[in-house]
Structures are given as C-alpha cells and as structure tokens.
C-alpha cells in the first residue's frame, strides 16, 4: 500500500513538472518571433508599421537597449576617443575622459584657473595625463577647451525645482565669440565644435532662428564626427519644436538616434 502511494506522488510530481515546462514553452512561442518594445508600454506608432525599426526612437520605454544586440552607446567614450585621435601624440582616451568628465569640482576649478590658463603646473594626480600635456602643445585646442569650460555652467543642467533666470546677455556674448572663432580657426575639428557651441548658446538664449541658421549653414553639411552630429541634431529637434513644427522636430530627433545606432560601433575618424 505504501509502495503504491509513493508511486502516485511521483507520478503527480512528474505531471506537474511537465505542465510547467510546457506552459513555459507556450509562453515563449506566444511572444515570438522576436522581442518587441511595444509589449511593455504605450507607444506612438502601431508595431505593424515600424518596418525596419526606424521608428524605434519613439518607443515609449527606457528598456529599448534590451531589445538589441548592441550595448548602449557612451557619449563620454566616443568624445574621448575623438579628442585622443585628433590630438595624436599618443594621447590616451582614458586620460581625456578623466579630465573632461571625472574630476571633482575643486580639482576642475584649480585646473581651469591654473594650468589651462598657462599659469601653474599640474598637480601630482594629473602630472602624467597625456591629454593635458597635448593641450599645452596645441594652443588652438587649449583655447577652445578653456572656452567650453568657462561657459559650461551657463548651459549645464539646472535644478527644475529652483527658478533661475537665464543670463541671455552672457549667452549671446559667448555665442558671438564662438562664431568669430569658428570663422577664423583653420581646423575642421575645432571649427565644427565652435559652431556647435554657437548653436547651443543661441538655443539656450531662446534665439531659435539664429540657432537654426548656424546649423543649416555650417553644420548640416559639415564633415563632422558622430558625437557632434548627434548633439546638433538634438538641438535642432528642440528648436523646431519651439518654432511650432512638431513633425520636423520628430524627424530630427529620430535622425539623431538613428545616427547613433548606425555609427556607434564604427571606428571614429576625424575628418
């Protein structure tokens, strides 16, 4: 009797296990043939018209990267590699990244007021930084980098809970300076970046028409790198939105993200 009871328990366990396995297979098949970002949230387009996924820029999900084979692109890594390639002289991308993105506020301030201002020598922690040594040898690049560091607080992210007025006079003044430098510098790499800074400063000053003119005349057809191309397209999308053309805004925004997917893993070339 005990023997028969044990076999019944084993049989029940086996059947239950089989049902669970089959259910899992059925669920997997029902979710095929491929993962779809539309299955976890609201979207702006029906998935049957997405075609080659060119509409994926509008998928309403923060988990979009989970549906692709590629890893998310790091703008810091890309920009650091571009600067290292531009400066040459055995500059390490890791050194560029550290100085541009990873210094604490105090060290960054000391660097700007001292070494980048052609005054003090480097601190011990940065003594062997290849990026900083290369900047001293390329005065044009040094002037650009110092300019960006000076204006950055005026265009950086603000706390949405604090009402801070925009210093449009300061922004317009520096936008004019960026345009002047862009017109005089004999360097495609820095010229495009100066025009980007001018577009960005006019953008944050609310001068959308001027920002659009700069993009159309100096950036749209320039042989710029992926990093700058993506940033300028992002600004362009915002400018069209402010000008009351959401269709153009969506087009530029989608182009910005499509460019990042297409070029993310190609070798960076400085033209």
Long-range contacts of range 254-260, CB-CB < 8 Å, 24 or more positions apart? 254/54, 254/55, 254/57, 254/58, 256/57, 256/230, 257/56, 257/57, 258/54, 258/57, 259/226, 259/229, 259/230, 259/233, 260/73, 260/226, 260/230
Residue 255: predicted pLDDT: 63
The 10 Å Cβ neighbour count of residue 97 is 19
Same domain, yes or no: 207 and 244: yes
Higher pLDDT, 191 or 246: 191
- Among residues 91, 107, 137, the one where a domain terminates is 137
Going 74 to 76 to 77 to 79, the CA torsion angle's sign is positive
Same domain, yes or no: 264 and 183: yes
What average pLDDT does range 128-156 have in this prediction?
92
Residue 271: predicted pLDDT: 29
Structure tokens given for 228: 């700058």
Residue 67 counted as domain residue: no
Residue 269: predicted pLDDT: 31
Residue 76 counted as domain residue: yes
Residue 79 counted as domain residue: yes
Is the per-residue pLDDT at 160 higher than 70? no
Higher pLDDT, 261 or 206: 206
Residue 104 counted as domain residue: yes
* Total-model pTM: 0.69
Is the per-residue pLDDT at 202 higher than 70? yes
Same domain, yes or no: 219 and 126: no
- Containing domain of residue 111, as a range? 72-137
Higher pLDDT, 120 or 248: 120
Residue 181 counted as domain residue: yes
Same domain, yes or no: 184 and 243: yes
Structure tokens given for 109: 């301030």
Is the per-residue pLDDT at 131 higher than 60? yes
Same domain, yes or no: 118 and 182: no
Going 180 to 151 to 191 to 202, the CA torsion angle's sign is negative
Residue 170: predicted pLDDT: 93
Is the per-residue pLDDT at 110 higher than 60? yes
The span from the CA of 172 to the CA of 181, in Å, is 14
Higher pLDDT, 156 or 195: 195
Same domain, yes or no: 87 and 195: no
CA nearest neighbour of 139 among 118, 122, 123: 118
Same domain, yes or no: 162 and 263: yes
Question: b/e map of 135-148 (b: 16 or more CB within 10 Å)?
Answer: beebeebbebbbbb
Helix, strand or coil for residue 63?
A: coil
CA nearest neighbour of 109 among 87, 117, 140: 117
Structure tokens given for 154: 């005026």
What average pLDDT does range 76-88 have in this prediction?
91
Is the per-residue pLDDT at 149 higher than 90? yes
Percent of the chain with pLDDT over 70: 66
Which residue bears the tokens 């495009």?
192
Residue 8 counted as domain residue: no
Would you place residue 263 in the very low, low, confident or very high pLDDT band (cuts 50, 70, 90)? very low
Question: b/e map of 19-43 (b: 16 or more CB within 10 Å)?
Answer: eeeeeeeeeeeeeeeeeebbeeeeb
Residue 68: predicted pLDDT: 60
Residue 50 counted as domain residue: no
Is the per-residue pLDDT at 52 higher than 60? no
- Among residues 137, 167, 186, the one where a domain terminates is 137
Is the per-residue pLDDT at 265 higher than 60? no
Q: Which helix (H) or strand (E) holds 192?
A: helix 188-204
Residues 244-253 pLDDT 10s: 767 777 766 6
User: Which range among 50-54, 159-163, 170-174, 177-181 shows the weakest confidence by mean pLDDT?
Assistant: 50-54
Is the per-residue pLDDT at 29 higher than 60? no
For the purposes of burial, counting CB atoms within 10 Å of the CB of 58, is it exposed (0-12), middle (13-18) or buried (19 or more)?
Answer: middle
- 99, 134 Cβ separation under 8 angstroms: no
- Domains of the chain: total: 2
Going 244 to 246 to 251 to 254, the CA torsion angle's sign is positive
Residue 238 counted as domain residue: yes
User: Which range among 21-30, 80-89, 121-130, 234-243 shows the weakest confidence by mean pLDDT?
Assistant: 21-30
Percent of the chain with pLDDT over 90: 29
What average pLDDT does range 67-73 have in this prediction?
60
């Amino acid at each position: 009797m005990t023997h028969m009871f044990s076999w019944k328990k084993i049989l029940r366990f086996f059947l239950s296990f089989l049902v669970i396995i089959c259910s899992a297979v059925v669920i997997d098949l029902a979710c095929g043939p491929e993962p779809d970002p539309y299955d976890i949230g609201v979207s702006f387009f029906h998935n049957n018209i997405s075609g080659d996924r060119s509409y994926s820029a509008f998928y309403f999900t923060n988990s979009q990267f989970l549906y692709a084979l590629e890893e998310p692109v790091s703008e810091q890594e890309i920009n650091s590699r571009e600067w290292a390639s531009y400066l040459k002289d055995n500059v390490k991308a890791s050194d560029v990244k550290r100085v541009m993105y990873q210094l604490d506020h105090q060290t960054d301030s000391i660097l700007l007021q001292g070494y980048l201002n052609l005054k003090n020598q480097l601190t011990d922690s940065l003594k062997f930084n290849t990026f900083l040594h290369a900047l001293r040898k390329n005065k044009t690049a040094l002037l650009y980098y110092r300019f960006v560091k000076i204006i950055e607080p005026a265009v950086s992210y603000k706390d949405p809970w604090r009402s801070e007025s925009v210093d449009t006079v300061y922004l317009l003044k520096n936008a004019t300076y960026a345009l002047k430098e862009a017109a005089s510098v004999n360097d495609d790499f820095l010229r495009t970046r100066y025009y980007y800074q001018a577009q960005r400063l006019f953008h944050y000053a609310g001068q959308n028409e001027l920002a659009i003119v700069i993009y159309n005349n100096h950036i749209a057809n320039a042989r710029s790198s992926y990093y700058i191309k993506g940033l300028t397209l992002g600004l362009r999308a915002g400018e069209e939105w402010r000008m009351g053309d959401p269709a153009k805004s969506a087009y530029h925004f989608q182009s910005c993200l499509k460019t990042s997917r297409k070029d993310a893993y190609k070798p960076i070339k400085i033209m």
